[in-house]
Each structure stands twice: as structure tokens, then as C-alpha cells.
Amino acid sequence: MVVAKDGTGTHRKIRDAVKAAPEHSRRRVVIYVKAGVYTENVKIGSKKTNLMLVGDGAGKTVVVGYRSVHENYTTFHTATLALYQWRRSTSLIVSVLVVAAAVAGAGFIMRDMTVENRAGAARHQAVALLVSGDHAVVYRSAMLGYQDTLYAHAQRQFYRDCDVAGTVDFVFGNAYVVLQNCTLWARRPLPGQENTVTAQGRRDPNQSTGISVHGCRLLPSPELELQRRAAGRWNGDFAPDTLYYGEYRNSGPGAAVGGRVPWPGHRVIKLPEEAMEFTVGRFIGGYSWLPPTGVAFVAGLTV
């Protein structure tokens, strides 16, 4: 299927192509989205398995949304590409809504696209991309927003050669997620705010979810004046007992660990055996499912 704004494809809108895609597919279903800016709401449901969205390049194929909590949406409902996934528990039915580019079907791949929420910093939480599907891959793409840009909601996810831009908690969620060879751009926050890159959302102490930032760059965007940035969410001198925040062989101007917070949960990892637990090979079991995607990855420590 081909999506083109000028009518030269099979569909003019991404959501129409997604709707036409087969359900529970065991084979890869490819939707090619030609260059253009697509302002629309797209729902990718859990029945749309093995779906692949391919654009003409980040910055060329752009999906745009404007929803935010300022308009009385919940964070989950600030959706441009949105997924609704229902799951049944023993006592209730939980509705999980996937946001701005929101995905729950297993085996999802997105490559060479930009997903953006243009609500702006003043409108607070406004998700650009939310992924809630197992074995999800995002490659050579950009996720642009301000607060809550990338919502790695659940399951195993891999991001390679991507750009993520935001202000507060702009990589967050409760997935097993590895970002490899990506660039995280801190944008200018609201007055009185400070940049916070990650906010891991685990509530169950029995889980082992987390956010692994591997071989990536953390940079200020051009409009951001030099100021302090927090890699993880923080609150003065307080930190929960459950915190684990590890650093291994970082480099660059911000890599010196002498000024780090003195929390028991902050670790300067010295042994490669400990750092290996957060690699693609071990943390998300990438050996077993990434090779068929055709996306480059490094399973070990060396990027």
C-alpha cells in the first residue's frame, strides 16, 4: 500500500491504509508513506501485527498532531497516530490508548519518518510517539515534541539512529527499551522548568523494565541556552529507594561524575559484566527477533 497526499498512491491518508491492512498477519505488511506533512489521527490496533510504516526520510515524511492536556485530554489521549488496545485482567478491563504515534500490534516497524506533536511547551504533556507493542523497532526516524515526547509504554522496543527532542520527561514509560546510536535533543523548557530526559514508569517491583541509552548523544537544541539538564527525573535531594541509574564509560563535557547526586541508586558502573545487562542482546533479547527486521544493531557493549 502507498500513501500519497497528491492521490498517486492507494490511499491519501495513513489511517485509511492502516484500516485496510490485514489483521493478525504473519507476514510483513508494508505501508509506504510518500513525502509530505500528514496532519491526521491514526489508530494502530493490536490486531495489526507485523505492520511496517516506511517514509521517504525523517523530515520528509512527517506526521503531525496538536493535542495536549491543555485541551483537557489525558496524556494518553494526546494522540496523532493513536492506538487503542484493550486487555483483560482478572478484575477489570483496562483500556490502553497509545498516543501521538501510538502502536500496540506486535512486530511493528517504523523507519525514515518524523512524528511530531506541535502543541508546544506551554501546553504541557503532549506525546509524539507512543509504542505499546512487543518487538517494536523505530529506525532512522525523529520524534519531536516538548513534554512527554516518546512514550515507550510497554513490551520490548528498539530505537536505532533516531532523534528525540523534548523538554520534560521526553523519554518515558514502562517498556524494556534500548535507544542505540540516537541523539536526544534538550529543547528550551518553560520558565522555571529544567530539562529532564528520562522518566521510567515502573510501579511493580517484580518487573525488570527500564530505559537503556546506549551509544547515544545528549545535546542542547540550538535555541536552548546553556543550563543544567537532568538525565533522569529528580526532586531536590529526594530519590526513591527503588531507583537504579547507572552510567558506564560516558564521554563528553557532561560525563564527569564528580557532581552527580549522592543517591544510593546512582551507580558509576565499572565492570563490563554489569553493563552487559543493559545491552540489546540481554536487556531486550535482540538476538532472537531483530535480525529479520534488517535494522542494524550492536548486541554487546561496543557501538
Q: Where are the domains of the chain?
A: 2-88+102-226
The single residue of 112, 148, 163, 169 carrying the catalytic annotation is: 169
Output the CATH code of domain 2-88+102-226.
2.160.20.10
Query: What pLDDT is stored for residue 263 in this prediction?
Result: 79
Grid cell at residue 18: 492502516
Q: Using pLDDT thresholds of 50, 70 and 90, give the confidence band for residue 264.
A: confident
For residue 160, give the nearest of 176, 129, 136 by alpha carbon.
136
169 in active site: yes
3-state secondary structure (DSSP) of residue 293: helix
Query: What pLDDT is stored for residue 88 in this prediction?
Result: 38
The whole-chain average pLDDT of the chain stands at 88
Percent of the chain topping pLDDT 70? 86
Helix, strand, coil tally for the chain in percent (to 5): 10, 35, 50
Number of alpha carbons in the 13 Å side-chain half-sphere of residue 84: 4
Question: What is the tens place of the pLDDT at every residue in 79-126?
Answer: 777 665 434 333 333 333 334 455 656 899 999 999 999 999 999 999
Q: Using pLDDT thresholds of 50, 70 and 90, give the confidence band for residue 243.
A: confident
CA angle, corner 36, sides to 34 and 37, nearest 5? 135
Mean pLDDT value across residues 34-62: 95
Query: What pLDDT is stored for residue 124 in this prediction?
Result: 93
Residue bearing the bigger pLDDT, 76 or 186: 186
